[in-house]
C-alpha cells in the first residue's frame, strides 16, 4: 500500500504534549483520537494500519495527519464553525449562570439542586431568558457549571493508603511506573457490585448434632428458604410450648409434677 506523502516527525516538546493528551480521560474523545493518530503516524504506520488499530475511518486518519503536517499542534484544534452568530446578550447569559450557582430553595423550589429542565423552566417563567434548555446547557458548559451534579470525598485512614493507591492513580493518569502508556495501551477497570445480593446458601446447612434442638447456618439464605431462627423454633417447639399447649399436655401426662420426669 502506498505510503502517505505527509510523513510526520515530532520534536521532543510535540511528542510530550501529544502523549499527555492521548493518555488523558478528561478531554473529548476526538482530541484523544487525533493525538493517537499523529503519534502512530510518527512511528511510521500507514493510514490503513492506524485506522485499523484505532477503529476509525481512513478519511479521519488522512485528515488529521495532513492537518498536523501543515499546521503542527494548532492543526489539531477545532476550527470555528459556520452558522448564525449568537444573539443572546451577555447580561442575560450572566444572569442565568448566576441562578445556576444558587440553591433552588433560595428561589422557593423544593429541590436539592437544579436539573437542566428545572433551571430552564425557572428562567423562562421569570422572564429572564427565552433560550432553550440545550442553549442554557451550552452556556453553563462554557464555565464548566453543572448544578445537577455534586462532589463528595472521604478521608482515608489507612497509613499505607498512598503506597497502595499509587499504582491505581498512575493508571488513571495514563502512566505506569512513571512512564506514559503507549497510545495503543488500554486500561480496564473492574469494580465490585455491592447491589448484587446472594440468593442461595454458599454451603449446605449442617445436620443437627446428637442432643441438639435444630440446625442453623450463618450463610445467606435464598428467597423463600427458612432462616436459622425458624429452624430452631420448629425443632424446639415442644420445649418452648406454654403450659397450656397440646405439647405440654402430652408431655405432662403420666409424669411426676415435681421433677417433670416420666412416671415410668
Q: What share of the chain is helix, strand, coil (3-state, %, to 5)?
A: 45, 0, 55
Residue 175, phi then psi, degrees to nearest 5: -130, 160
Q: In the predicted model, is pLDDT for residue 14 greater than 60?
A: yes
Nearest-angstrom CA–CA distance, 133 and 140: 11
Of the listed ranges 11-15, 105-109, 152-156, 157-161, the one predicted with least confidence: 152-156
Q: How would residue 190 be classed by pLDDT, with cut points 50, 70 and 90?
A: confident
d(CA 29, CA 21): 10
Between CA 13 and CA 70 the distance in angstroms is 17
Virtual torsion, Cα 27, 31, 35, 41, nearest 10 deg: 160
Amino acid 201: pLDDT: 72
Q: What is the pLDDT of residue 34?
A: 92
Angle, vertex CA 80, rays to CA 21 and CA 88, nearest 5:
115
47: how many CB neighbours lie within 10 A of its CB? 22
74 DSSP 8-state letter = G
- pLDDT average, residue stretch 140-150: 72
Regarding predicted confidence, which is higher, 19 or 256?
A: 19
CB-CB contact of 53 with 184 (8 Å): yes
**Which residue do the cell numbers 450557582 mark?**
101
Q: What is the pLDDT of residue 196?
A: 66
Q: Is the pLDDT of residue 38 over 90?
A: yes
What is the domain partition of the chain in residue ranges? 12-76, 90-142
Model pLDDT for residues 97-121, shown as the tens digit of each residue: 888 888 888 888 888 888 888 888 9
List the grid coordinates of 49.
494500519
Q: Which residues pair with 179 in a beta bridge?
A: 176
Q: What is the mean pLDDT of residues 129-138?
A: 87
pLDDT at 214: 56
Residue 42 and residue 65 in contact, taking contact as beta carbons nearer than 8 Å: no
pLDDT reported for residue 117: 87
All three cell numbers of 114: 437544579
Provide, rounded to the nearest whole percent, the portion of the chain with pLDDT above 90. Answer: 9
Q: Which residue has the cell 492537518?
A: 67
> Which of the residue ranges 86-90, 179-183, 253-257 would you say has the lowest mean pLDDT?
253-257
pLDDT of 64 reads 92
Highest mean pLDDT: which of 77-91, 126-140, 213-227?
126-140
Q: Which residue has the cell 491505581?
A: 168
Q: Which residue has the higher pLDDT, 76 or 199?
A: 76
Higher pLDDT, 1 or 53: 53
User: Which three three-digit cell numbers place residue 3?
Assistant: 505510503
Tell me what pLDDT residue 131 has: 87
Task: Write phi, then psi, for 84 (nearest 5 degrees).
Answer: -65, 130
DSSP of 25-56, one letter per residue? SSS-HHHHHHHHHHHHHHTT--HHHHHHHHT-
With cut-offs at 50, 70 and 90, classify the pLDDT of residue 173.
confident
User: Which residues in 212-243 are b (16+ Cβ under 10 Å) and which e?
Assistant: ebbebbeeebeeeeeeeeebbeebeeeeeeee
pLDDT band for position 222 (50/70/90)? very low
Angle at 198 between CA 196 and CA 200, to 5 degrees: 150
Amino acid at each position: 500500500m502506498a505510503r502517505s506523502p505527509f510523513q510526520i516527525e515530532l520534536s521532543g516538546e510535540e511528542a510530550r504534549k501529544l502523549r499527555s493528551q492521548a493518555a488523558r480521560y478528561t478531554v473529548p474523545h476526538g482530541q484523544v483520537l487525533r493525538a493517537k493518530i499523529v503519534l502512530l503516524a510518527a512511528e511510521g504506520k500507514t493510514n490503513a494500519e492506524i485506522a485499523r488499530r484505532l477503529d476509525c475511518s481512513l478519511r479521519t486518519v488522512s485528515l488529521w495527519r495532513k492537518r498536523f503536517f501543515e499546521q503542527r499542534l494548532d492543526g489539531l484544534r477545532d476550527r470555528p464553525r459556520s452558522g448564525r452568530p449568537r444573539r443572546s446578550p451577555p447580561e442575560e447569559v450572566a444572569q442565568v449562570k448566576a441562578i445556576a450557582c444558587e440553591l433552588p430553595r433560595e428561589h422557593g423550589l423544593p429541590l436539592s439542586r437544579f436539573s437542566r429542565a428545572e433551571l430552564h423552566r425557572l428562567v423562562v417563567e421569570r422572564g429572564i431568558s427565552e433560550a432553550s434548555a440545550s442553549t442554557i446547557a451550552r452556556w453553563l458548559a462554557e464555565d464548566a457549571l453543572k448544578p445537577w451534579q455534586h462532589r463528595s470525598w472521604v478521608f482515608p485512614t489507612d497509613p499505607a493508603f498512598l503506597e497502595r493507591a499509587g499504582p491505581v492513580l498512575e493508571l488513571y493518569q495514563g502512566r505506569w511506573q512513571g512512564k506514559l502508556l503507549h497510545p495503543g495501551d488500554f486500561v480496564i477497570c473492574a469494580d465490585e457490585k455491592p447491589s448484587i445480593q446472594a440468593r442461595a446458601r454458599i454451603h449446605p446447612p449442617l445436620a443437627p448434632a446428637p442432643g441438639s434442638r435444630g440446625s442453623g447456618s450463618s450463610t445467606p439464605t435464598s428467597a423463600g428458604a427458612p432462616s436459622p431462627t425458624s429452624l430452631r423454633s420448629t425443632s424446639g417447639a415442644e420445649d418452648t410450648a406454654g403450659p397450656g399447649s397440646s405439647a405440654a399436655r402430652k408431655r405432662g401426662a403420666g409424669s411426676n409434677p415435681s421433677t417433670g420426669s416420666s412416671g415410668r
